[in-house]
Amino acid sequence: MRAALALAVASGASLAVACGTEKEFALIRRNAIERRAAASSALASAPAGAATVATGPAAAAPTVPTATRTDEASAAKVTNPAQECQVYSYPPVAALQAQKVFPPIWQIANLSTAQPEVVSLFNALNGSIPKINPKGTPTGDFTGVNYNGAEDPDCWWTWKQCHTPKVAGLPQDIYMVPEPQTWGFTLDDGPNCSHNAFYDFLNEQKQKATMFYIGSNVLDWPLEAQRGLADGHEICAHTWSHRYMTSLTNEQVFAELYYSKKAIKDVLGVTVQCWRPPYGDVDDRIRYIANSLGMQTQIWRDNTFDYEIATLPRAQIEANYADIIKAGQNGTFATNGTIVLTHELNNDTMALMMENYPKIKAAFKNVVPIGVAYNNTQPYVEKEYTYPNFSQYVAGTLSVSLAAPTAVSTDASLSIPLSSGASGSISATVSYASNTATGGSAANAQSSGKSAAGRNVEGGVFGAVVAAIVGAIGAGAMAVLV
Ligand SMILES: *[C@@H]1O[C@H](CO)[C@@H](O)[C@H](O)[C@H]1NC(C)=O
Ligand SMILES: *[C@@H]1O[C@H](CO)[C@@H](O)[C@H](O)[C@H]1NC(C)=O
Ligand SMILES: *[C@@H]1O[C@H](CO)[C@@H](O)[C@H](O)[C@H]1NC(C)=O
Ligand SMILES: *[C@@H]1O[C@H](CO)[C@@H](O)[C@H](O)[C@H]1NC(C)=O
Ligand SMILES: *[C@@H]1O[C@H](CO)[C@@H](O)[C@H](O)[C@H]1NC(C)=O
Ligand SMILES: *[C@@H]1O[C@H](CO)[C@@H](O)[C@H](O)[C@H]1NC(C)=O
Ligand SMILES: *[C@@H]1O[C@H](CO)[C@@H](O)[C@H](O)[C@H]1NC(C)=O
Ligand SMILES: *[C@@H]1O[C@H](CO)[C@@H](O)[C@H](O)[C@H]1NC(C)=O
Ligand SMILES: [Zn+2]
């Protein structure tokens, strides 16, 4: 006999509250698709051989001389945000798209046009994926989802921030860093087309971060994605189209993860081994597929809620930053450090980070990328990229050796060490094995409580989820299944 909660959250008041809001993403997706479509005729008639910029009437003014956007270094020098965000075509990406190597950008990825070997890879995996039903919708509406909340059988982060999988063989999620007084610096949702001023700032500060790039953004803004690698940041994947992953079918989840990993490989030249679920929406089914594709799941411990800048007062986001900064000064992180959720989503989130950065540096002993905090000096499959370990980084070595970003123009297979069809086996191993900590949820809930203003709850993400569900139960929506 099992008691189950029927989660009856009103649509729009979704459980998960992280990353750019779904509404904002709907806009970003539509804008990207429309901009590309409008510029395509101008781009098609432009000469091949270099990144070309649409100059037709469809392209947003002002136009940018083609010569300024030919490679990573030249694109990095464009400083006018409007010019930075002007559509251009990068020949390697155009060639890959012409070969139908990728699904359409910003659509939920599937395998309908996948190469036979990719389909074979999925088929070899599918039978062993934990039998967990998809939950809710891709936009995060969990209305009517039946879930045994007391047992949290799927280790569903959205529900209670579970990060220790219940399916055997899966590694624990990375959500904190073991080094005391340390801010694990992560930036989600990039590459943003207008990030040059922000990336220049990071360079001036001699600061590296872990960047979670969206596959569709990587194809949309390939030279900006290359800049992240060239600047010495650690690159991880953030799915293909930024949907709530637990809502998707096995095939869609596989495709969302596979194609984001492949976009980074084909455009930057590195095979990433880490990813972060949009909105933190992950359960053991999703973790299993990610792990099988050689990617460790990374979430966070503290949340600035910077992505809510469009809907919350700026002062509220500032207060969230201030809270985490205060925790950096009052002993909260005396024995271990935090991973903080921040974004390069738009101008405002980047500006907030730049503004708070000096205070973060003053309050925390170390501000480091996640790989650095775990002494993971070779985060990619390719070994010609070596990052400093923790002691090197804090002593001032910010880069050890980094090959230049390199894009390919023809389909190259992504090396995924799946065992061929053997049921239940996970052969991909990743190198963050030492994270065995517990206790992040409380800290996350603590800091995020402040930003739940308007949600009318105390206690932050966890509290918001519980309150939403309790509210629903109060409204008579609870079902006890036996
Ligand atoms: C797969 O994705 C394409 C592109 O978004 C879409 O048109 C198609 O309907 C999808 N196929 C299935 C079976 O969902
Ligand atoms: C994958 O496996 C599930 C069962 O776990 C099944 O329902 C689904 O149809 C399979 N998908 C494909 C594309 O074969
Ligand atoms: C430290 O500051 C944080 C943020 O304001 C607060 O939640 C926490 O209770 C404080 N801890 C101590 C030990 O004072
Ligand atoms: C990048 O930032 C700009 C400026 O804030 C914003 O308008 C745009 O939607 C962002 N683009 C992406 C792809 O995130
Ligand atoms: C982004 O910020 C810059 C200043 O840093 C400003 O010049 C620009 O207009 C902003 N762009 C958008 C789209 O808000
Ligand atoms: C990283 O290396 C430092 C020594 O420089 C060590 O103290 C620390 O425990 C290591 N961290 C991990 C996660 O292995
Ligand atoms: C960090 O790198 C330095 C230089 O290569 C090395 O001497 C040290 O042992 C490394 N520390 C760890 C924990 O691996
Ligand atoms: C991290 O620190 C907290 C106290 O702030 C403690 O409860 C927890 O056990 C620590 N975790 C590890 C792995 O040291
Ligand atoms: Zn995100």
Report which bound ligand comes closest to the CA of 329: 3
Q: Does a structural domain hold residue 89?
A: yes
238 and 381, same domain (yes or no): yes
Check residue 342 and give its pLDDT: 97
Model pTM score? 0.87
100 and 208, same domain (yes or no): no
Q: Does a structural domain hold residue 424?
A: no
Q: Does a structural domain hold residue 254?
A: yes
Check residue 56 and give its pLDDT: 45
Question: Which residue lies with its CA nearest to atom 2 of ligand 2?
Answer: 126
79 and 224, same domain (yes or no): no
The 10s digit of each residue's pLDDT in 235-273 is 999 999 999 999 999 999 999 999 999 999 999 999 999
133 and 274, same domain (yes or no): yes
Check residue 19 and give its pLDDT: 58
Question: Which residue lies with its CA nearest to atom 5 of ligand 3?
Answer: 323
Ligand 5 center to residue 348 CA distance, Å?
Answer: 9
194 and 337, same domain (yes or no): yes
Check residue 9 and give its pLDDT: 37
Mutate to test the pocket of ligand 8, among 335, 374, 446 (most ligand atoms within 8 A of CB): 335
The structural domain count of the chain equals 2
Range of the domain at 319: 125-144+153-394
Show the ligand 5 pocket: residues with CB < 6 angstroms.
Answer: 81, 194, 197, 347
Report which bound ligand comes closest to the CA of 132: 2
> In 10 A of CB 166, how many CB atoms?
15
Check residue 412 and give its pLDDT: 83
160 and 263, same domain (yes or no): yes
Check residue 31 and give its pLDDT: 86
Report which bound ligand comes closest to the CA of 82: 5
Q: Does a structural domain hold residue 436?
A: no
233 and 328, same domain (yes or no): yes
Check residue 482 and give its pLDDT: 17
What residues act catalytically? 188, 343
Ligand 6 center to residue 298 CA distance, Å?
Answer: 19
Check residue 253 and give its pLDDT: 98
CB 164 within 8 A of CB 284: no
52 and 131, same domain (yes or no): no
The 10s digit of each residue's pLDDT in 51-76 is 666 654 444 444 555 556 789 999 99
Q: Which CATH number does the domain housing residue 203 bear?
A: 3.20.20.370
231 and 131, same domain (yes or no): yes
Q: Does a structural domain hold residue 365?
A: yes
Residues of the chain with pLDDT under 70: 1-20, 41-68, 417-482
* SS3 per-residue string spanning the chain: CCCCEEECCCCCCCCCCCCCCHHHHHHHHHHHHHHHHHHHHHHHCCCCCCCEECCCCCCCCCCCCHHHCCCHHHHHCCCCHHHHCCCEECHHHHHHHHCCCCCCCCCCCCCCCCCHHHHHHHHHHHCCCCCCCCCCCCCCCCCCEEECCCCCCCCCHHHHCCCCCCCCCCCCCECEECCCCEEEEEEEEECCCCCHHHHHHHHHCCCCCEEEECHHHHHHCHHHHHHHHHCCCEEEECCCCCCCHHHCCHHHHHHHHHHHHHHHHHHHCCCCCEECCHHHCCCHHHHHHHHHCCCEEECCCEECCHHHHHCCCHHHHHHHHHHHHHHCCCCCCCCCEEEEEEECCCHHHHHHHHHHHHHHHHHCCEEECHHHHCCCCCCCCCCCEECCCHHHHHCCCCCCEECCCCCCCCCCCCCCCCCCCCCCCCCCCCCCCCCCCCCHHHHHHHHHHHHHCCCCCCCHHHHHHHHHHHHHHHCCCCCCCC
- The CB of 431 under 6 Å from ligand 7? The reply is no
Ligand 8 center to residue 439 CA distance, Å?
Answer: 7
